[in-house]
Amino acid sequence: MNKITHALILPFTIILLLPSCRPTPDPILKIGLVSGFGGFHDRGFNQNILDGYLLAKDQYSFFGETREIITEAEIGTNIDNFLSAGFNLIITAGFNAAQATIDAAKAHPETDFLILDYAVENPPANLLCVLFDVDESSFPCGFLAAYWANRQDPLHPVAGFVAGPAIPEIRQFSDSYTHGIEYFNQKYHKDVRWEGYFANSFADTLQGAILADSLLRQNASVIFAFAGKTGNGALYKVKEAGKWAIGVDVDQYISIPEVGPVLLTSCVKLLNSTVYSILVSYFNETFAGGQIMHYNLNNNGVGMAPLHDFKAAIPDSIEMELVAIEAGIKKGEISTGWK
């Protein structure tokens, strides 16, 4: 029985943004970035956001400051600090930053805000929400995990996952991943079982290792880790055990080369290029405030990283099936299982 216990390099895309009503900025724009949980050096989500921000800062003349957060209360504090200092644009990321960002945007219509990986219905004109439809890339990752688990242990195949806290943005990964496993089972009449754990933190590498160890003891051959630094701990445990894994957010074969040899692929988002392109547009006095922008397979906003060391080991038939799955998702002919 399946159970859950609670406990990206992609092609570069320049996004054309619509103009907003923000006033003419000071000669030097001031743009602030507040990290998500786990800090900027998580070798994944936050670090890739920082990379896009720093690239834009290096190429364009704006004054920038970055702030790392450890507790949720620090999100609001850092937003307030940027507001007090007269920043033109404030960038935040993730579910935990949502309420503080929305409240600040409504209270300060003269300041622009960008929140990544979260959306509010009918955002105010000075707030741009960016969502990544990760279910479209997590689903084929589940299919690949099921194939590999069945190949390693045809009698008792198990594919697992170590997830972050069970918020909707994390459920989007887990639900589609498990549906990808079920899709494999239906197509090839197999019985790959899945097991998964939700961590209670994005920043606890030890917890990630412990949860991964529990899955390995349940015969999991492949573990998909999507839990920030917690997930990184799971990847190191998988490598130590001589099993296989799937990374998240960025191509972790590159960002964490130590675990590269056991990574089948990574489920990636176009984080750095998204931030960069939005900041370029902002510098050019255009901003798509009041909107929700979706990044998905159709606009190269999400996808699977290369197979790297496993390119020769994955049969052409499975690679072709992965291509067909992505095409089916783009056309709406294959459901990822996410609402």
Band of residue 138 on the pLDDT scale cut at 50, 70, 90 = very high
Q: Report yes or no on 3 lying in a domain.
A: no
Question: pLDDT tens digits for 189-216?
Answer: 999 999 999 999 998 999 999 999 999 9
Q: Report yes or no on 48 lying in a domain.
A: yes
Please compute the mean of the pLDDT values over residues 307-323 and round it to a whole number. 98
Tell me how far apart the alpha carbons of residues 306 and 234 are, in angstroms, rounded to a whole number.
21
- The pLDDT score that the predictor gives to residue 27 is 59
- Structural domain of residue 73, as residue ranges? 9-133+271-295
**Are both 119 and 45 inside the same structural domain?**
yes
**Are both 42 and 100 inside the same structural domain?**
yes
Please compute the mean of the pLDDT values over residues 172-177 and round it to a whole number. 98
Kindly tell me if the per-residue pLDDT of 12 is higher than 80: no
Please compute the mean of the pLDDT values over residues 241-252 and round it to a whole number. 97
**Are both 150 and 264 inside the same structural domain?**
yes
Mean pLDDT of the chain, nearest integer: 91
Band of residue 43 on the pLDDT scale cut at 50, 70, 90 = confident
| Closest CA relative to residue 56, chosen from 252, 267, 283, 264 | 283
**Are both 62 and 90 inside the same structural domain?**
yes
Segment among 13-17, 245-249, 314-318 with least mean pLDDT? 13-17
**Are both 167 and 282 inside the same structural domain?**
no
Tell me how far apart the alpha carbons of residues 137 and 172 are, in angstroms, rounded to a whole number.
10
Residue 286, both tokens:
């255009």
**Are both 160 and 59 inside the same structural domain?**
no
94 Cβ contact list (under 8 Å, min separation 6): 36, 37, 116, 117, 118, 169
Q: Report yes or no on 336 lying in a domain.
A: no
**Are both 209 and 63 inside the same structural domain?**
no
**Are both 316 and 185 inside the same structural domain?**
yes
| Closest CA relative to residue 235, chosen from 211, 218, 219 | 211
Question: pLDDT tens digits for 73-122?
Answer: 899 999 999 999 999 999 999 988 999 999 999 999 999 999 999 999 99
Please compute the mean of the pLDDT values over residues 208-225 and round it to a whole number. 98
> What's the one-letter identity of residue 258?
E
Q: Report yes or no on 2 lying in a domain.
A: no
Kindly tell me if the per-residue pLDDT of 14 is higher than 60: no
313 Cβ contact list (under 8 Å, min separation 6): none
Our count of domains for the chain comes to 2
| Closest CA relative to residue 177, chosen from 48, 58, 18, 338 | 338
CA atoms within 13 A on the CB side of 62: 29
Tell me how far apart the alpha carbons of residues 290 and 206 are, in angstroms, rounded to a whole number.
40
Burial pattern 230-261, b for ≥16 Cβ within 10 A else e, equals bbbbbbbbbbebebbbbbbbbbbbbbbeebbe
Phi-psi region of 204 (alpha: psi -120 to 50; beta: other; left: phi over 0): beta
The percent of residues above 90 in pLDDT, for the chain, comes to 84
pTM of the model: 0.85
**Are both 223 and 321 inside the same structural domain?**
yes
**Are both 160 and 251 inside the same structural domain?**
yes
Q: Report yes or no on 339 lying in a domain.
A: no
Question: pLDDT tens digits for 56-83?
Answer: 999 998 999 999 988 888 999 999 999 9
Q: Report yes or no on 23 lying in a domain.
A: yes
**Are both 99 and 239 inside the same structural domain?**
no
Q: Report yes or no on 44 lying in a domain.
A: yes
Please compute the mean of the pLDDT values over residues 24-51 and round it to a whole number. 84
CATH code assigned at 228: 3.40.50.2300
80 Cβ contact list (under 8 Å, min separation 6): 104
Tell me how far apart the alpha carbons of residues 177 and 157 are, in angstroms, rounded to a whole number.
16
Kindly tell me if the per-residue pLDDT of 46 is higher than 70: yes
**Are both 158 and 103 inside the same structural domain?**
no
Q: Report yes or no on 4 lying in a domain.
A: no
Please compute the mean of the pLDDT values over residues 331-338 and round it to a whole number. 97
Residues in the chain: 339
Tell me how far apart the alpha carbons of residues 126 and 113 are, in angstroms, rounded to a whole number.
6
Kindly tell me if the per-residue pLDDT of 22 is higher than 70: no
